Amino acid sequence: MVFGAPAVIVHDLPQMQAVLALRRPVLLASAPAAGLYMGAGWWAEMLAAAGATGLSLLDCADAPGRALEALAEGLPGIVLNCADPAFAVVAQIAAAQNAVLRRTAPPALDLALPAVYRQLAAWLG
């Protein structure tokens, strides 16, 4: 567990809603590099539509520009795996906004495969 709750990778709004419907502590995480191909606006809209509160992580891969977009969108957590000095600049901005910035994503249950749903309740404890 990271951040006090197990992480679950969600790919769309129905998956996010299914996870939140269990009403257990969870860290919602995007798919690897989702910030590159879906964007920060997509993640922010999904979180709002699902009524998600608390920490979530958008994976921006190695793109500091996408991480800055996520911060501008007001997202609470970002995964960014890029070299310094870019990482340091993004880290400074994230800290000023009380956002979490990580170089790596936490271990997570990925809901990409429907069969994984059977493991979800056990994963969340």
Rounded to the nearest 5°, which phi and psi values hold at 28? -75, 130
CB-based contact 116:110 (threshold 8 Å): yes
CB-based contact 46:11 (threshold 8 Å): no
Cα 75 from Cα 51, distance rounded (Å): 14
Which pLDDT does position 47 carry in this prediction?
A: 98
Q: Where do the DSSP E strands lie in the chain?
A: 7-9, 27-29, 56-59, 77-79, 100-102, 108-110
Single-letter code of the amino acid located at 68: L
**Fold classified for 7-120:** TIM Barrel (3.20.20)
Which pLDDT does position 1 carry in this prediction?
A: 44
- Domain limits of the chain? 7-120
What is the full per-residue pLDDT of the chain (125 aa) written as tens digits? 446 799 999 999 999 999 999 999 999 999 999 999 999 999 999 999 999 998 999 999 999 999 999 999 999 999 999 999 999 999 999 999 999 999 999 999 999 988 898 999 999 98
